[in-house]
Structure formats: structure tokens, C-alpha cells
């Protein structure tokens, strides 16, 4: 089924048709059943997109928070007449023979514990980002994933945002910009939203902001650089957000702004800028090579009525190639499904992985390296000096 006909199959204007009279608007029966482990905000997004993508359905859910389960049941009922199986233990959810694959969307600090149980099932696994909150735990999960007999995909889905898909294609496939020299990324956005037990407001549970949120961007920078990071220098602070917030007597201690500089082994240099107290969502990528410059950006502005997602790429080349401006986008019903459509394509490729088709999904090792950069940047902020990756890993007793 094409994406266009899949969209039509969701429209209520065709509800008058008997199933026997549906062709263009037909919706085939799902081939796979997924179990959802963790039903918070991102878990609900995965539930929605599993049904929207259409090749799978959500079979069951495990979450110790009853309200999360109740919301999952209500959202599932919008798509399926089958009741959602509710499990009373992680082990039961992972090992149900009726489930073909597992979506792990639990809080960051639980990933290693949950992944160990999930891996024992031998089922395909999609583990949400970050892979873990520490480099040590990320390495443990990577080792587990590389010994896993089935698919083990890490949810670094920003690589599927339309602007970043096109930017990578121009820079790495078409080589429009020549040899890449510098990379620059920026994110301006609103503060972290509420979570059950407010775990995302504390570094011991989230891994801190550069691990929790910005691993996406370090993954993209690593992909574009096509080399390993060797040095990281960062400056950051908790300037505005949650400075007066406490939970169970504990004060919030996460970064809300940072500047990060990364040197790669092949000479590529990158920087990343973060502000978590802006009244908008804005992402920017600038790639400079010896033959041109690419500027990609995406913005969602809440202060202007009706101002939805806007994205654009400017490519300025030397006299040997044409310059141009493009506005990459997915169909609106995909872009509105979550993370500008990136989660939708993450699911497309997860199922493609299950079916043995080639994809560009994030491996556990790529997830590990995104955390290495983030953790090194946070260590640099703490020390106030450059962190050499090899030395930092040696201090942790790790060789990569």
C-alpha cells in the first residue's frame, strides 16, 4: 500500500463503505504484534505510529503506572477492536509468545535492566534513546545487542527528519559540498515537560541534558563527520529552568544551555549550541565543505496562531555547481504524527529490519558513541577543560 492510499484508508469520509468495497482505501491486516514496554509520552507516540504505519499492531503493554496503562488502552481502542493485553510484570510482557517484537520506552536509567530482560526473549527490540545514561551502561547494552540473535535498534530517529535526510544525502551521497570541513548544529526549545516521578529533571536518572536530549544531535554529527571524535570541549549551566524545583526533597540539577566543540580524527570540526528556555522549537544544521555550504533549519513557533512546522535547506555552491533552495517535507499526516515524521520512518525501518531489508537505522554501537560524546561534553563542563576521548574512556576502564 502506498503512503497516499494509507492516508486515505484513515479518513472517516469512507466509513460508509463495506470492507468488500474498499480497494484504494483498503487497510490490510497487520503482520506483526508489538508489545509496548513503558507507556509515557514517547510510548504513546510509538503506540499511535505502530497503528498508523499499519504493518503491525500493539498487542500488549507493561507500565507500573496505572494511568499510563489506561491512556494506552484508550488510544489503542481508537485503532483496534482487540483489547490491549496488560501485563503485571516485565518478564511476562517480554516473553509472551504472541508478541513478535518489543518497543522499550521506559525511563533512561532503567534501560540496562529492561534490556537485559528483553534480550532473553530473543525478539526484535527497538530501544528508545539514549541507549543508557552512562558510558559504562551504554557499553554493556552494546555488548548485549551485538550478541542478540535478532534486530536490536536504537531510537535515534532524528536522522529521519526530512531536513536531515536531505542534508546527509547532499553532503555524503551527492558530495555537493565537496570535502566536509566544519559542522554546526543548534537547538532552541521549550524546557523539558513533566514525566512520572519527574525523572527527567535530575541527572542521576536522565543522564543530564546532553545525554538525554542531545544524543540525537551528536549521532547526526558523528554520521556526517564519518570519523570518531577525539576531543570535546564544552561550557554550560543551569541558567533558567527548574532552579526552584524540588521533588521528594531533591533539587533539580540538569543543564538548560550548553556550547560544545568536537574535534574528529579526520580533521572535521563540529560545534553544537543548546538553549532549553526558548518559546519555540528550532533546529539548525550548517555544513561547510571546500565546495559549498548547506544551511538546514526547522521551526515550530507557538507564539503565532496557525504557524506550524516550517523547514528549509539552502545550498550555496562555488561556481562549479548550481546553488538552490529546497523545502523538504513529508506528507502532513506523517509530520504531525510525532517528531516531524521521524518516528514514523523509524517504525518503517524497524519492520524493514525485521524483514531483512537494508536500512540506515541506528545500531547499539552508534548509540554508544552518541553517549560518549555527550558524557565527555558534560565532563568537560564539570572540569572546565578539554576532554580527550581516549583518556576519558581509559579513566572509565573502557577501550573502544
Asked whether residue 278 is assigned to any structural domain, the reply reads yes
Residues 331 and 359 in one domain: yes
Asked whether residue 400 is assigned to any structural domain, the reply reads no
Q: How far apart are CA 43 and CA 159, in angstroms?
A: 19
Domain that holds residue 72: 3-156
The domain total for the chain is 2
Residues 109 and 179 in one domain: no
Residues 210 and 128 in one domain: no
pLDDT in tens, the chain (400 residues): 455 556 677 777 777 888 788 888 777 789 999 999 999 999 999 999 999 999 999 999 999 999 999 999 999 999 999 999 999 999 999 999 999 999 999 999 999 999 999 999 999 999 999 999 999 999 999 999 999 999 999 999 999 999 999 999 999 999 999 999 999 999 999 999 999 999 999 999 999 999 999 999 999 999 999 999 999 999 999 999 999 999 999 999 999 999 999 999 999 999 999 999 999 999 999 999 999 999 999 998 876 655 578 899 999 999 989 999 999 999 888 999 999 999 999 999 999 999 999 999 999 999 999 999 999 999 999 999 999 999 999 999 999 9
Cell of 101: 517484537
Residues 324 and 250 in one domain: yes
User: What does the radius of gyration of the chain's CA atoms come to, in whole angstroms?
Assistant: 21
User: pTM of the full predicted structure?
Assistant: 0.94
Q: How far apart are CA 62 and CA 93, in angstroms?
A: 6
Q: How many CB atoms lie within 10 A of CB 318?
A: 13
Q: How far apart are CA 72 and CA 281, in angstroms?
A: 27
Asked whether residue 379 is assigned to any structural domain, the reply reads yes
Q: Among residues 105, 124, 156, which one ends one of the domains?
A: 156
Residues 165 and 239 in one domain: yes
Q: Among residues 113, 131, 156, which one ends one of the domains?
A: 156
Q: How far apart are CA 351 and CA 374, in angstroms?
A: 29
Residues 252 and 323 in one domain: yes
Read off the CATH number of the domain in which 74 is found. 3.40.50.720
Asked whether residue 169 is assigned to any structural domain, the reply reads yes
Residues 135 and 69 in one domain: yes
Nearest to 62 by CA among 89, 84, 24: 89
Residues 313 and 240 in one domain: yes
Q: Among residues 156, 184, 199, which one ends one of the domains?
A: 156
Residues 91 and 165 in one domain: no
Residues 31 and 145 in one domain: yes
Task: Give the bridge partners for 316, in sequence order.
Answer: 293
User: Is the Cβ–Cβ distance between 340 and 281 less than 8 Å?
Assistant: no
Residues 182 and 143 in one domain: no
Residues 105 and 163 in one domain: no
Q: How far apart are CA 262 and CA 183, in angstroms?
A: 9
Q: How many CB atoms lie within 10 A of CB 372?
A: 25
User: Is the Cβ–Cβ distance between 2 and 27 less than 8 Å?
Assistant: no
Q: How far apart are CA 352 and CA 335, in angstroms?
A: 20
Read off the CATH number of the domain in which 319 is found. 3.30.360.10
Asked whether residue 312 is assigned to any structural domain, the reply reads yes
Q: How far apart are CA 263 and CA 247, in angstroms?
A: 38
User: Is the Cβ–Cβ distance between 80 and 56 less than 8 Å?
Assistant: no
Asked whether residue 258 is assigned to any structural domain, the reply reads yes
Amino acid at each position: 500500500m502506498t503512503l497516499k492510499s494509507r492516508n486515505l484508508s484513515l479518513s472517516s469520509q469512507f466509513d460508509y463503505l463495506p470492507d468488500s468495497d474498499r480497494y484504494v482505501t483498503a487497510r490490510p491486516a497487520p503482520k506483526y504484534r508489538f508489545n509496548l514496554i513503558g507507556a509515557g509520552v514517547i510510548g504513546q507516540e510509538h503506540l499511535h505510529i505502530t497503528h498508523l504505519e499499519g504493518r503491525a499492531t500493539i498487542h500488549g503493554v507493561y507500565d507500573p503506572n496505572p494511568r499510563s496503562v489506561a491512556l494506552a488502552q484508550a488510544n489503542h481502542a481508537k485503532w483496534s477492536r482487540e483489547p490491549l493485553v496488560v501485563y503485571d510484570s516485565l518478564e511476562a510482557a517480554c516473553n509472551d509468545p504472541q508478541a513478535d517484537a518489543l518497543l522499550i520506552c521506559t525511563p533512561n536509567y532503567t534501560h540496562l535492566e529492561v534490556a537485559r530482560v528483553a534480550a532473553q526473549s530473543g525478539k526484535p527490540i527497538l530501544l528508545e534513546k539514549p541507549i543508557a545514561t552512562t558510558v559504562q551502561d551504554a557499553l554493556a547494552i552494546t555488548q548485549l545487542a551485538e550478541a542478540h540473535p535478532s534486530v536490536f535498534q536504537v531510537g535515534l530517529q532524528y536522522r529521519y527528519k526530512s531536513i536531515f535526510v536531505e542534508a546527509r544525502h547532499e553532503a555524503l551521497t551527492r558530495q555537493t559540498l565537496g570535502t566536509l570541513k566544519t559542522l554546526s548544529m543548534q537547538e532552541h526549545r521549550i524546557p523539558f515537560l513533566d514525566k512520572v516521578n519527574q525523572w527527567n529533571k535530575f541527572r542521576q536518572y536522565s543522564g543530564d541534558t546532553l545525554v538525554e536530549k542531545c544524543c540525537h544531535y551528536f549521532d547526526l554529527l558523528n554520521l556526517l563527520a564519518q570519523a570518531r571524535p577525539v576531543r570535546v570541549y564544552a561550557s554550560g549551566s543551569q541558567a533558567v529552568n527548574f532552579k526552584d524545583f524540588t521533588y521528594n526533597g531533591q533539587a533539580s540539577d540538569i543543564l538548560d544551555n550548553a556550547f560544545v566543540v568536537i574535534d574528529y580524527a579526520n580533521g572535521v570540526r563540529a560545534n553544537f549550541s543548546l538553549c532549553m528556555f526558548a518559546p519555540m522549537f528550532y533546529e539548525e544544521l550548517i555544513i561547510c565543505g571546500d565546495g559549498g555550504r548547506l544551511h538546514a533549519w526547522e521551526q515550530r513557533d507557538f507564539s503565532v496562531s496557525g504557524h506550524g512546522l516550517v523547514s528549509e535547506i539552502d545550498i550555496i555552491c562555488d561556481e562549479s555547481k548550481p546553488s538552490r533552495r529546497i523545502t523538504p517535507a513529508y506528507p502532513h499526516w506523517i509530520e504531525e504524527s510525532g517528531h516531524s515524521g521521524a518516528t514514523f520512518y523509524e517504525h518503517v525501518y524497524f519492520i524493514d529490519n525485521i524483514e531483512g531489508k537494508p536500512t540506515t537505522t541506528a545500531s547499539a554501537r552508534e548509540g554508544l558513541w552518541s553517549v560518549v560524546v555527550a558524557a565527555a561534553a558534560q565532563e568537560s563542563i564539570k572540569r572546565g577543560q578539554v576532554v580527550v576521548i581516549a583518556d576519558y574512556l581509559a579513566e572509565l576502564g573502557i577501550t573502544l
